[in-house]
Amino acid sequence: MIRVEIERKLFGGTEVLRDIRFAVAPGEVVALLGPSGVGKSTLLRIVAGIDTDFEGRVERPRRLGMAFQEPILLPWRSAAENLTLTHPGLGTDGAEEALARVGMAGMGGHFPGQLSLGQQRRVALARAIAGAPEALILDEPFASLDAETGAGMVALTARLIAETRAPTLFVTHSAEEARTLGTRVLRLGGRPATITAEDGQG
């Protein structure tokens, strides 16, 4: 379970987030939708525990799986090594198994420079789910992909979320992605930003 109660968040003297409250249950995917620059990634960093300078409180499991807007892979490490660096107990076999789950079977020895952006994002997704996460946090993981590759990544992500059953918070600016992946959609807007609407997906 993820519980979020943010009273406010300031950058300098500017209030950017106010009165944001929601929870994400196991098996639920909450999609956070809003225009660029509204504060979606700031909210996500707070939920993930990366940004602790805010008023309020957040409850989250200890073991988080995260994927960001950029794959953030070490270029001098192979795909498998990028996974085992984050999850030392995984071992080479475990890393190869995680890569196979995202359609990258047999590619553990490839370096990021040898992979397309879509393949790099698959490696980042494999890293997020490899440690049996108790919650998933995804920050626009399909950004900058062409339509076909993006659609494939959305379908893959939906399958992996269904397998893990982890509570998932997913940030996007795409209403279509939000509807496809989210069991519930929260819309962030205003200045300071707050939740302006909540759409149930049935």
pLDDT digits (tens, 9 = 90+) for 190-200: 889 999 877 76
Residue 158 pLDDT > 60: yes
Report the predicted TM-score, pTM, of the whole model to 2 decimal places: 0.82
CA torsion, points 162, 167, 171, 177, in degrees to nearest 10? 30
Q: How far is CA 110 from the centre of its chain?
A: 24
- Does 25 have pLDDT greater than 50? yes
Given the structure tokens 């994400």, which residue do they identify? 24
Residue 134: CB atoms within 10 Å: 17
What's the CATH class of domain 2-63+133-200?
alpha beta
- pLDDT computed for residue 201 by the predictor: 52
Token output for 76: 């001098």
Q: Which has more confidence, 82 or 143?
A: 82
Bigger pLDDT: 137 vs 177 = 137
pLDDT band at 202 (very low <50, low <70, confident <90, very high): very low
- Among 26-30, 52-56, 145-149, 169-173, which stretch is predicted with the lowest mean pLDDT? 145-149
> How is the chain split into domains, by residue range?
2-63+133-200
Give the span between the Cα atoms of 181 and 7, in whole angstroms: 27
In terms of Cβ atoms closer than 10 Å to its own Cβ (0-12, 13-18, 19+), residue 56 is: middle
In percent, how much of the chain has pLDDT > 90? 35
Q: Which amino acid is at 198?
A: E
**Which ranges constitute the DSSP H helices of the chain?**
40-48, 79-86, 91-101, 117-130, 147-164, 175-181
Q: pLDDT value at position 55?
A: 94
pLDDT score recorded for residue 131 = 80
pLDDT for the residue numbered 59: 93
**Tens of pLDDT, residues 67-95:** 887 888 999 999 999 999 988 888 889 99
Sign of CA dihedral 133, 139, 144, 145: positive
Per-residue pLDDT at 141 exceeds 70? yes
